[in-house]
Structure 1
């Protein structure tokens, strides 16, 4: 059996390494993808530096894949030469920070014409997260295909998206707008407000301006639509001090709050292990009657409809129909696969980029 290079974490906080791993043939509905572009995520940092969830060393990293199908199983919907992108994460074989990824076809969609792999790879994990959160944890319908006359039942309710300029936050706002939601409030740095308002936010507030809850409450009190409280809040940041507690100060009884896990208690800094919790209610003074839900994106495949449709059909259509735009990209440069992967981890840890995705090449041109 042939082998190929894969980026792995080998010990808690240790530098990443590249190992040679087996390259196997796809079976059933699987395809083997030559990974050309990937996007690093906070989960890469959480696992490499904090050992979040189940980490079995050496463990591959990366869950955003964009590349070319080079081999397909007998029942796969994609054929050799197809350009695909997807959220692949469940095993080392599926991880994206390697030359070849083997995954079932339901975890991939075709890259639409007019879009590059570099653009497409900004979607999979965070688009899936946004859709899953809205339908499973927030409880919105999001019917697919969307009827031409669709009006959301929650049309008049106010929705807070904390961290609107994050990759996931941008998709939350754009999906909500496409389905007819108008009462969207977003928090983000001032430099991102114009874009988020174009995406569908009715108002934006700078979370760094001190007590942002005051201006949000003042804004709501000035509205004349009979709904002056936040009914739904989505925390795209998951920082106990930076987002969870501020949201708890704003929402009132009857609100539903979805917090993207993990909740960060202490960030990864030099020579210090990060601290996380999977309990979004722990050590937070939530008002009585607020329903708090911790979002676990990886459970979206439990929904049979989404398992079959979300990545194969809805995600590519979202680009083609203009439901969402790709995130802006910052390309991580480096001479080798390992250098690019390690540099991306460090850039994420230091939070060097705001409002854009860190993307980088896996396979070089002509590399097989």
Structure 2
């Protein structure tokens, strides 16, 4: 069996390593893709520095963009040649992004629309999938497809708070909910990014570092109970987001939090600490409904499993409903150096309102 190079985490907080792994031939509806670009995510840091849900040595990454090089006998919609694709792939080692080839189901991939680069497209799949899954399961907000045939949303004018608007998820959530007809979107960010977030659909923007931010958010809402019925926490930090959201959430508020809850951030000196349960980590008022969101369960929705990545995500990109995150290209002489540099930049928080993207293979 032929092999190829993959980046792996080998121990908590250890430097990344390169290993040779089998190049898996596709079967049934699988395709093999040469991975040309990937985008680093906080999960990469959680797994390397915190050992979160890791079995060593574990290949990192879940966002891929590249070229189809081999197809299984039952593949319906993808072909060989210059077929460029992008997707969120994670189920097992052969699917992980930080390696030269992945072998995945075609339903985990979308065709690259004309006018976009792989570098741009790789910023989408993880977090657009997260928003669809998080909205429908975490907040029970329907996102019927196609949007043009969906009835007006029942909560079109009710405040929806997005904590962490400049995160990748926050940017896509603003664009998606705005397209689906939600008009009263509130979000937090540094003031320098407020104008940009309003261009994506935010009706109100707030400085998350202002000590009175929770009071300001409640005052901006209509006079109703609860003042903010829906909250989506893109940050998931005990001190950085949950503490403030708990001051806003009232009886009847539904709060969805991207997991894990970060109890302590990773630093150059200290290991991080995480929790997978939202409820114990903030002083919630009675009657607040808190829910943790784990994107890796999105395929439990049969419709999303079949259509979200192959159809919905590329259509929204092609139609201009969502635009790629801004990118910060991570440089390095080798695959390992690029992967390690990206991880170190995540740890040092050297990125804001953009995604860390980097080349995996070029031939």
TM-score (norm 2): 0.97
Give the equivalent residue in structure 2 for 1:294. Answer: 292
Give the equivalent residue in structure 2 for 1:338. Answer: 336
Matches within 5 A, 1:270-309: 270-309=268-307
TM-aligned CA deviation for residue 321 of structure 1: 1.4
Alpha-carbon distance in 2 for matches of 1:333, 1:151 = 45
Deviations 1:108-133 (A, max 9, x none): 01011111000000001001001111
Alpha-carbon distance in 1 for matches of 2:187, 2:301 = 28
- Does residue 147 (structure 1) correspond to residue 148 (structure 2)? The answer is yes
Segments of structure 1 that go 5 or more residues without pairing to the other structure are none
TM-aligned CA deviation for residue 282 of structure 1: 1.0
Give the equivalent residue in structure 1 for 2:49. Answer: 49
Alpha-carbon RMSD across the aligned residues, in angstroms, is: 1.2
Give the equivalent residue in structure 2 for 1:11. Answer: 11
Give the equivalent residue in structure 2 for 1:65. Answer: 64
Deviations 1:182-233 (A, max 9, x none): 011000111111111111110000101223112112222xx47x67710000
Matches within 5 A, 1:137-216: 137-148=138-149, 150-216=151-217
Deviations 1:149-179 (A, max 9, x none): 7310111211000001100000111100000
Moved more, 210-219 or 102-111: 210-219
Alpha-carbon distance in 2 for matches of 1:112, 1:201 = 26
Deviations 1:257-289 (A, max 9, x none): 000000001111123211000111113110111
- Does residue 258 (structure 1) correspond to residue 259 (structure 2)? The answer is no
Alpha-carbon distance in 2 for matches of 1:147, 1:37 = 32
Alpha-carbon distance in 2 for matches of 1:47, 1:351 = 16
Give the equivalent residue in structure 1 for 2:102. Answer: 101
Q: Secondary structure at the match of 1:130?
A: helix
Contact 1:165-1:196 at 8 Å conserved across structures = yes
Give the equivalent residue in structure 1 for 2:131. Answer: 130
Aligned length: 361
Deviations 1:317-361 (A, max 9, x none): 010111111000000000000000000001001111100000000
Q: Secondary structure at the match of 2:263?
A: strand
Alpha-carbon distance in 1 for matches of 2:70, 2:155 = 45
Contact 2:242-2:281 at 8 Å conserved across structures = no
Segments of structure 2 that go 5 or more residues without pairing to the other structure are none
Contact 2:230-2:254 at 8 Å conserved across structures = yes
Contact 2:40-2:343 at 8 Å conserved across structures = yes
Give the equivalent residue in structure 1 for 2:28. Answer: 28
TM-aligned CA deviation for residue 235 of structure 1: 0.2
TM-aligned CA deviation for residue 148 of structure 1: 4.8
- Does residue 347 (structure 1) correspond to residue 345 (structure 2)? The answer is yes
Moved more, 138-147 or 306-315: 138-147
